[in-house]
Amino acid sequence: MTSATAHNGTEPTIVFPKQWKRRHLLDLESLTAEEITILLDVAQQLKEITQNCRRKVPLLTGKTCANLFFENSTRTRNSFSLAAKRLGADTVEFNSSGSSVAKGETFVDTAKTIEAMGVDWVVTRHGTPGTPHLLARELGCSVLNAGDGPHDHPTQGLLDMLTVRQHRGSIAGLTVALVGDIAHSRTARSNIWGLSKLGAHVIICGPPTLVSPRWTELGFEVAHHLDDILPRCDVLNLLRIQFERQRARPFPSVHEYAALYAMNGERMRKAKDDILIMAPGPINRGVEITPEVADGPHSVILEQVNNGIAVRMAALWLLAGANDRN
Amino acid sequence: MQQIPPSNLLIENGRLIDPSQKLDRVGRLLISDGLISAVDPSDGDLPASIQRIDASNQIVAPGLVDLGVEMREPGFEEDETIRSGGLAALAGGYTSVLCTSNTSPCVDSPGAVEFVRQKAAKAAGAKVHVIGCVSKGGEGEQMAELGLLAEAGAVAFSDTPKSMPNDALLKRALEYCRMFNLPIIDRPEVPDLANNGVMHDGQTALVLGLKGLPTEAEDLAVARDVRLAEATEGRLHVGPVSTMGAVDMIRRVKARGIQVSASVCPHNLCLSDEELRCFDARFKVHPPLRSQRHVETLRHAVIDGTIDAIQSGHMPRSREKKMNDLDLSPFGAATLETTLSTIITYLINQRSMDWMTAIDRLSTAPAKIAGVQGGTLKVSSAADVVVIDPSSRWTVDGNQFVSRCNSSTLDGCQLDGIVRLTIVDGEIRHDNS
């Protein structure tokens, strides 16, 4: 599978990048800038080959992708399923409710059972950080992390970066602010690692109860007042407040949070003319973003969704290629 | 059970180290009738029938004493039993261990104390001393019958691994225990601040997205504990401790002459929270692996005596429990069989701690804190002795442990120092020659 063709054996083709060796995609923290760039380049090519992720190309025919989701998900699971199907692979869906996990089976045993059915990739989402890493040690097939607690969500980080790159050509030199519930956000961490590796200046913004000062020790800019940093930003990524992960409410009220951090029309007037507004979704309209901004001309939220399929196709194809070469 | 009469043992050519009499020299040790009968006896004083042990290039020291080992029986025999824990202790060079009260049912009645003592007597492992609960049911509300527990043989009281949540109860218990002259042991942690954390709350937890156990959860509990010890003049032992803040507080109250002792676990002296980067639950231990600054501070504190004792922190948990992800896996690891080698490898052989200090922290000091036999090679004391081959190297393999628990933070590591013999009351109970 070093190269493949679409359109019934005619142009265009895609060449497997020899530098790609990884069999698993567990987090963006451990990837190099080169590897991230390969993923983005391949995603871009696959997006074009599949005509905006709408056509099917038989790059992965005969392979099977298992979605092993131990936490609720709509967009990510469907996005992975579509990505696999667009490349001709079969999919197996697994939900933790009503399964053996509910009967006391450990998730490793569940994963091994699914693997024994003959799958090539396990796409997993779990509430505990490190569970994909644990599966990667226990399973023979490729493991893709579709979100492990607040730790990492590599394909989300990649699709955010792909979206920025499509609009700006390059990530390097841009100022990107991640705003909101950093403490509980895997999207934040994926963005932090991915963007910084590709040369962006990352600002982490939110109340001190959700933004640890330790990020400064790691070399990132921390801000608590959105209005102070807004004029400098090329991109804003507005993260959802994850009420379900919070043990104690980190701010007095949603009303107060919205007043301090919601991106609204008034704030848009203080921003750069070409600012990109992103949100990983699901969005809480009126909390982190008002409808006029979410649906406004600077919003690229729906492009992000489409790019999600592209980066997931890229990840599946690259991991399968590395596996076949071993 | 058939009683085998204790024989006469002469351990020759070994380096005798005994902090209780500041003894550090090559010599010979005579053991008769279960007691140390002479240091460097002349040939004329030797009994006719005698077993000679050549301990050339080896260390001969009082057997190790542990201030808090979880034996898990009754109630959690899949993790450990009094027998397997007692034998694991022997393999680690321990001749006496205090066993914690957090069994099911817990040790809050004289009958429960008696159960442990009887089981231990049959096991022929290390000597097992019982820690009774401070509170009824270990629930931290009402004081347990401490006097009756003491009468049944409890040597200390603790609700460990839980910290005492109720300030008033801790104060009352410290006051009340003065009439038995027995210590209260508190594992310091404010539950509200520790709330469901799985690892040290630091940079690594931030990056990994794992819930943190903040140092202030321990610092605040230590501050409360030592202040109550001062107010009541009760006997208090805090431990294991793991933070710079705890060390600082203990150092300051000791300087004021307040009677408080403290202990530390070996993993907190050699490993940092960076180990969790692989997300392996075998590094989920309590106290948690802290950052390197805490590790360095704890090393200095145990060397300078601010921290009096090293305790294994043995918290055995079965394989199936530890196989889980980091949220579901319980805290705990098997440490009895690696503690001595850890101290040799990371402290003695790094030339930061001498043998005399090490044996004091592992044996003499904990024996004194708990008020139990051991920790000495003085003539007429119980012959609880360990013979250590300090230069042999071995690779830790949890599956080879005597303990029922195979989870170790040091699995696969090479450690220096092998326990050659463990002698309890003059009887060789562990022989790895």
Contact B103, B75 (CB under 8 A): yes
Residue A99 is predicted with a pLDDT of 56
The helix or strand, by DSSP H or E, that contains position B149, with its residue range, turns out to be helix B146-152
Closest alpha carbon within chain B to A246: B211
**Does residue A158 share a domain with residue A97?**
no
Q: Which of A106, A128, A218 sits opposite B327 (nearest CB)?
A: A128
Top residue of B200, B274, B279 to mutate, by most chain A CBs within 10 Å, is B279
**Does residue A140 share a domain with residue A171?**
no
Closest alpha carbon within chain B to A212: B206
Contact residues, chain B, for A247 at CB < 8 Å = 195-196
Q: Is residue A200 part of a domain?
A: yes
Closest alpha carbon within chain A to B327: A128
**Does residue A137 share a domain with residue A10?**
yes
The residue length of chain B stands at 433
**Does residue A235 share a domain with residue A134?**
no
Residues 6+ apart with CB under 8 A from A255: none
**Does residue A183 share a domain with residue A100?**
no
**Does residue B246 share a domain with residue B223?**
yes
A12-46 pLDDT per residue, tens: 689 999 999 999 999 999 999 999 999 999 999 99
* Contact assignment for B210 to A129 by CB distance below 8 Å: yes
* Contact assignment for B326 to A129 by CB distance below 8 Å: yes
* Contact assignment for A106 to B324 by CB distance below 8 Å: yes
Q: What is the largest CA-CA distance in chain A?
A: 60
CA distance B124 to B12: 25
Domain count across chain A: 2
Contact residues, chain A, for B280 at CB < 8 Å = 134
Q: What is the CATH number of the domain that holds B175?
A: 3.20.20.140
* Contact assignment for B279 to A106 by CB distance below 8 Å: no
Please give the C-alpha separations between residue B331 and each of A22, A173, B199, B242, B315, in angstroms, as whole numbers: 32, 44, 10, 15, 8
**Does residue A248 share a domain with residue A203?**
yes
Q: Which residues of chain B approach chain A closer than 8 Å at the C-beta?
A: 195-196, 202-203, 206-210, 278-280, 320, 323-328
Low-confidence ranges of chain B (pLDDT < 70): 1-6
**Does residue A143 share a domain with residue A277?**
no
* Contact assignment for A129 to B207 by CB distance below 8 Å: no
CA distance B275 to B203: 13
**Does residue B121 share a domain with residue B27?**
no
**Does residue B21 share a domain with residue B103?**
no
Residue A101 is predicted with a pLDDT of 62
Rg (CA), chain A: 20
Contact residues, chain B, for A149 at CB < 8 Å = 209-210, 327
* Contact assignment for A133 to B195 by CB distance below 8 Å: no
Q: Is the pLDDT of residue A1 over 50?
A: no
| Shortest CA gap B247–chain A (Å) | 23
Closest alpha carbon within chain A to B322: A106
**Does residue B328 share a domain with residue B185?**
yes
Contact residues, chain A, for B325 at CB < 8 Å = 107, 126, 128, 130-131, 134
Q: Is the pLDDT of residue A11 over 70?
A: no
**Nearest by Cα to A236 from A198, A263, A200, A196:** A263
CA distance B214 to B193: 7
CA distance B344 to B392: 11
**Does residue B69 share a domain with residue B56?**
no
Closest alpha carbon within chain A to B328: A128
A69-103 pLDDT per residue, tens: 998 888 899 999 999 999 999 999 987 765 556 56
Q: What is the CATH number of the domain that holds A63?
A: 3.40.50.1370
**Does residue A159 share a domain with residue A288?**
yes
**Nearest by Cα to A182 from A156, A153, A218, A209:** A209
Residue A6 is predicted with a pLDDT of 45
**Does residue A46 share a domain with residue A164?**
no
ipTM greater than cut 0.85: yes
* Contact assignment for B203 to A133 by CB distance below 8 Å: no
Residue A107 is predicted with a pLDDT of 83
Q: Report DSSP state, residue B19.
A: G
- Whether omega before A250 lies within 30 degrees of 0, making that bond cis, reads no
* Contact assignment for A186 to B202 by CB distance below 8 Å: no
Q: Is residue A57 part of a domain?
A: yes
Closest alpha carbon within chain A to B208: A151
Residue A59 is predicted with a pLDDT of 95
What range does the domain containing A212 cover? 154-295
CA distance B333 to B289: 12
Contact B405, B312 (CB under 8 A): no
**Does residue B47 share a domain with residue B160?**
no
Q: Which of B206, B278, B328 sits opposite A133 (nearest CB)?
A: B278
Contact residues, chain B, for A130 at CB < 8 Å = 208, 210, 279, 325-326
Residue B225 is predicted with a pLDDT of 97
Extended beta strands in B308-384, E state: 309-310
**Does residue A266 share a domain with residue A239?**
yes
Q: Is the pLDDT of residue A308 over 90?
A: yes
Mean pLDDT of chain A: 92
**Does residue B339 share a domain with residue B227?**
yes
**Does residue B160 share a domain with residue B124?**
yes
Give the pLDDT band of residue A326 (cuts 50, 70, 90).
Answer: confident
Q: Is residue B150 part of a domain?
A: yes
Specify the amino acid at residue B151: E
**Does residue B49 share a domain with residue B194?**
no
Contact residues, chain B, for A181 at CB < 8 Å = none
Mean pLDDT of A41-65: 95
What range does the domain containing B32 cover? 9-60+383-403+417-431
Top residue of A128, A131, A186, A189 to mutate, by most chain B CBs within 10 Å, is A128
- Whether omega before B161 lies within 30 degrees of 0, making that bond cis, reads yes
Q: Is the pLDDT of residue A239 over 80?
A: yes
Q: Is residue A301 part of a domain?
A: no
Contact residues, chain A, for B323 at CB < 8 Å = 106, 108
* Contact assignment for A215 to B206 by CB distance below 8 Å: yes
A–B CB contacts, 8 A cutoff, strictly below: 52
Contact residues, chain B, for A215 at CB < 8 Å = 206
Q: What is the CATH number of the domain that holds B397?
A: 2.30.40.10
Q: Which residues of chain A approach chain B closer than 8 Å at the C-beta?
A: 29, 106-108, 126-131, 133-134, 148-152, 186, 189, 212, 214-215, 217-218, 247
Cβ-based neighbour number of residue B331 at 10 Å: 17
* Contact assignment for A131 to B325 by CB distance below 8 Å: yes
**Does residue A245 share a domain with residue A127?**
no
**Does residue B154 share a domain with residue B37?**
no
Q: Is residue A187 part of a domain?
A: yes
**Does residue B137 share a domain with residue B189?**
yes
Q: Is residue A300 part of a domain?
A: no
Rounded to two decimals, the pTM is 0.92
Contact residues, chain A, for B279 at CB < 8 Å = 129-131, 133-134
Give the pLDDT band of residue A106 (cuts 50, 70, 90).
Answer: confident
Q: Is residue B376 part of a domain?
A: no
**Does residue A284 share a domain with residue A213?**
yes
**Does residue B169 share a domain with residue B109?**
yes
Q: Is residue B205 part of a domain?
A: yes
Phi/psi-derived region of residue B301, left when phi > 0, alpha when psi is between -120 and 50, beta in every other case: alpha
Q: Is residue B223 part of a domain?
A: yes
What pairing do the DSSP bridges indicate for beta strands A64-69 and A90-95? parallel
Contact residues, chain A, for B208 at CB < 8 Å = 129-130, 151
Q: Is residue B375 part of a domain?
A: no
Q: Is residue B410 part of a domain?
A: no
Domain count across chain B: 2
Contact residues, chain B, for A212 at CB < 8 Å = 206
* Contact assignment for A189 to B207 by CB distance below 8 Å: yes
